[in-house]
Amino acid sequence: MKLISFIIIASDSSYYLLGGGFRWKHLAEALVSNDVIDVNFLGDDDRERSFKNFFKKIIGKKSIGKVNVNSFESFDIKAYIKKVKSLGIKETILIVEKPNHSALSFIKKIKHKRFRKRIVYDCIDNWRGSSFLAKGWYSEKIEKDIIREADLVMFAAREQLPFPKIKNKQTYLLENAVNLEIFNPKPNLFKPKDLTKRLLTLIFVGTICGDWIDWKLIKKISDYYGNNLAINFLGAYNGECPFRASNMYFLQEKKNKELPAYYRNCDAGIIPFVKNEYTKVLRPLKVYEYIACDLPTVSLYIEGIKNFPNVLLAHNYNGFIDHLETIRKKRFKKSDKKEIRIFLEGNNWDKRIKDFLSFC
């Protein structure tokens, strides 16, 4: 056992949410699998309470894995410090995932408590680049205050450097990755009942809202293929699509362990993101999952994934459809298996966390 405690703060979110590519959940589970003695998750008070009650009905009082899930309201700092001392824990590493007021308040609350700790700000996104995703909670001043309090600033993509500009701070690159225990090309996965298949079957997994989905591209693809196409969207959906089409299916969120069956029964995974300040520094989690499940990816151009195996990048809408046609006509030549194996060996969560723990 590694005598380190981690507290992962993802305020305004919940550990219990099903599906999605939440980076903080992958970090927590990878820390547990690497024998870290104490892993804690702090999320939104109302969400944690409601989701926790929901899960208790399903699994009783059993915790999810070995991650201690709490809300800010229920987290007892005195009890935590007592636990740390009793377990002989040498250091607490606090990872801040979303730079909002709740996270900053918690940092200030524990800053002067007498136990050894390091504060890490995990700069997972360029929040300033998305007016929708940052709406109502993001403050550049609060982000700068958190960076000022941090001992280490992590980045999820090389393209983020040197943004935001960091002075006199230690930095660490912890890129996204994939859980190979869940995502791999299993041969005998039956088609999920709610998945619609056509001559060309596409899938998108992730947040279906905001200003990052290029609905004009989706409309062009939908019109071009008509009834020969099925686009399956997996993720929370509240009617954000500005048009209706009979070849588009919104299947809501799924558990991570359910996703490989969907990938196995599709022709390609798509990344239909608009080009803006937010998306240009992304390395989407879903791309790693597509690759691990041997599913080709078609995406509008994103610099960070240009050298990934089995990824086709388009600079415009016509190029996107050209790539889809290559896949539909079975003309796409997949990357060499050795290339994919090497990629996955270097880009899985187990390796990422082993490297990070060594760095710490």
Separation CA 49–CA 351 (nearest Å)? 33
The reply to whether 317 and 216 lie within a common domain is yes
The reply to whether 135 and 255 lie within a common domain is no
The reply to whether 20 and 155 lie within a common domain is yes
The reply to whether 108 and 256 lie within a common domain is no
Residue 358 lies in a domain: no
The reply to whether 147 and 213 lie within a common domain is no
Which contacts (CB < 8 Å, 24+ apart) does range 152-155 have? Answer: 152/118, 152/119, 152/120, 152/121, 153/120, 153/121, 153/123, 154/95, 154/120, 154/121, 154/122, 154/123, 155/123
pTM: 0.89
The reply to whether 249 and 320 lie within a common domain is yes
3-state secondary structure of 102: helix
The reply to whether 137 and 82 lie within a common domain is yes
Query: What pairing do the DSSP bridges indicate for beta strands 91-96 and 67-71?
Result: unpaired
Domain harbouring 211, CATH code: 3.40.50.2000
Other residues' Cβ atoms within 10 Å of the Cβ of residue 257: 12
Separation CA 98–CA 197 (nearest Å)? 37
Residues near 88 by Cβ (< 8 Å), separated by ≥ 6?
Answer: 3
Residue 224 lies in a domain: yes
The reply to whether 167 and 210 lie within a common domain is no
Which of 22, 54, 282, 43 lies closest to 159, judged by CA?
A: 282
Other residues' Cβ atoms within 10 Å of the Cβ of residue 31: 26
Residue 16 lies in a domain: yes
pLDDT per residue, tens digit, the chain (360 aa), is 778 999 998 866 666 554 445 788 889 989 999 999 999 988 865 444 444 444 343 333 334 458 888 888 788 999 999 999 999 998 999 999 889 888 999 999 998 888 899 999 998 888 776 666 667 788 889 999 999 999 999 998 887 765 556 777 899 999 999 999 999 988 778 999 999 999 999 999 988 876 789 999 999 999 999 999 999 999 888 898 999 999 999 998 888 889 999 999 999 999 999 888 777 778 899 999 999 999 999 999 999 999 999 999 999 999 999 999 999 999 999 999 999 999 999 999 999 999 999 998
Range of the domain at 168: 2-174
Q: Which residue carries 């992590």 as its tokens?
A: 154
CB 236 within 8 A of CB 265: no
Q: Is 319 exposed, middle or buried (0-12, 13-18, 19+ CB in 10 A)?
A: middle
Number of domains in the chain: 2
